[in-house]
Amino acid sequence: MLISIASIVLNVLFIVVLNLEFYTDRAHLADGSVREWQRSPLARLGLSDQTYLFYIQIVLAVVSVVTSILVLVGVKNNVIRIIQIVSSVASLIMFIVIMIATSNTHAKYA
């Protein structure tokens, strides 16, 4: 039961963190000025054409949350339990992959 609640909370937290603007991009413009942008990991995925990672994260989060809710309401099927654990771990791994990918992504302006 504790794993199910933690899975739901963490998957919601993953989506929130992916939408927070905590990256700063700086670019030197042609006139010599410097411009700064605040970007979220989701925006940086868009810059690098890797939005498919976010879609995979969403699918894994939905599967994890749905199976966690099923376990919380009393479904005692081992297959559901295995799917819940696998999707929760996969969602965590995908979140880490997205954070690594976005930390190395920088916009280039000409």
* pLDDT tens digits along 55-98: 999 999 999 999 999 999 988 889 999 999 999 999 999 999 99
Question: What is the structure's pLDDT at 107?
Answer: 61
Q: Where are the alpha helices (DSSP H) in the chain?
A: 2-19, 41-47, 51-72, 78-103
What does DSSP assign to residue 26? E
37 compared with 14, residue with greater pLDDT: 14
